[in-house]
Structure 1
Amino acid sequence: MDLFKIDEVAKECGLTKRTIRYYEEIGLLPSPQRSEGNIRLYTQEDIERLKKIVAAKDVLGFSLQELQYYMQAADQLNDQRQNYRQHTERFSPEERKNKLIEMNQTLDEQLLLMKRKISSIRTLQAELEELRVRVRQGLAKLDQEIGKES
């Protein structure tokens, strides 16, 4: 298993070392293993998790609280999926159905968070578009006034 130092991880994920340490501190990223010299050593899985965090933060504009909730739901879903895959043959059809219902509920929670964020973005977009219409109307009026004065 390849292990990476914090400098390499920061560069790969487009984050600062300070941000990575902060994400560890608040629980977004599990504390990594350490070398004998107490240097943080990250796995490829840690890097992928950080990339997922960065994407949720950048693309959806999640706050830290939203990121924590989103990542907890992602972890829960991952655990549910692994459990389902590992034990499918041992589960009765009813148990499989219940497991799938749990996964569906977790997905619903994640999607609801995204829908709320997208709705907020659309509301802001609509406000800006309305303002742009008013500005353009003002410009058109001024163009007419300037044209009459010439």
Structure 2
Amino acid sequence: MNNTPENHVDTDELTPIGELAKQLRLTTRTLRYWEEVGIIESAERDNGTIRGYTPYMVRRIRLIMKLKELGLTIKEMQDLYRVYGNAKRTDKLIPELIKTIDQHIRLVDAKMARIASLRVDLVEYRDRLFEKFARVSEQHTD
């Protein structure tokens, strides 16, 4: 949370934390945690009465939600925003984001291969059990 003068907003565009949490189906605790770890920032009006999120930050929160859904960790998001930096240069962020997503694609591919292998093992095991059960059933009917 940054209490610098540029973090004060004198507009009606701030979305209060409770309202935003409801809109996005998040908890206020999640938003506060994301602030604590530095991947989002809230702003406050000049009179200090309302603390909330600017439209830019709401878009950023939506992006964080999507990145989280894609499997990115908080640490990876922190790294991305460090690259993005104060200059807000997407030409630096996008290549890093692509690299991070490519790493996740490789991880997902590896997990899918392990799951496919597990499926084969399970089907073979089930088939062996079925055959064994069929033999036992035949013996009991004799």
- Other structure's SS at 2:42 match: coil
| One-letter amino acid of the counterpart of residue 80, structure 1 | R
Q: Residue 79 of structure 1 corresponds to which residue in structure 2? A: 88
Per-residue deviation, residues 78-106 of structure 1 (Å, max 9, x unmatched): 8336xxxxxxxxxxxxxxxxxxxxx3x64
Change (3 A) 1:45 1:80: closer
2:18 and 2:35 mapped to 1: Cα distance? 15
2:21–2:27 CA contact under 8 A, matched in 1:
yes
Aligned CA-pair RMSD:
2.2
Aligned residue for 1:4?
Answer: 15
Q: Which of the two has greater helix per residue?
A: 1
The 2-side partners of 1:37 and 1:12 are apart by 23
Per-residue Cα deviation, 1:47-78 (whole angstroms, up to 9, x for no partner): 111111011011x21111011123344x45x8
Q: Give the aligned residue type for 1:57.
A: K
- In our comparison, the structure showing a higher alpha carbon Rg is 2
Higher strand share: 2
**Number of the residue aligned with 1:114:** 101
Q: What is the aligned partner in structure 2 of residue 63 from structure 1?
A: 73
Report if the CA contact (8 A) 2:21-2:31 is conserved.
yes
Structure 1 residues 88-127: Cα deviation after superposition (integer angstroms, max 9, x where no partner): xxxxxxxxxxxxxxx3x64332211111111112111211
User: Residue type of the partner of 1:65?
Assistant: K
**Distance (whole Å) between structure 1 residues aligned to residue 58 and residue 40 of structure 2:** 10
In structure 2, the gaps of 5 or more residues are 1-11
TM-score (norm 2): 0.75
CA distance in 2, matches of 1:142, 1:35: 71
Any unmatched runs of 5+ in structure 1? 82-102
Aligned residues: 125
| Correspondent of 1:135 among 119, 122, 125 | 122
Could you say if the C-alpha distance between residues 17 and 2 of structure 1 is closer, same or farther in structure 2, counting changes exceeding 3 Å?
A: same
TM-score using structure 1 length: 0.72
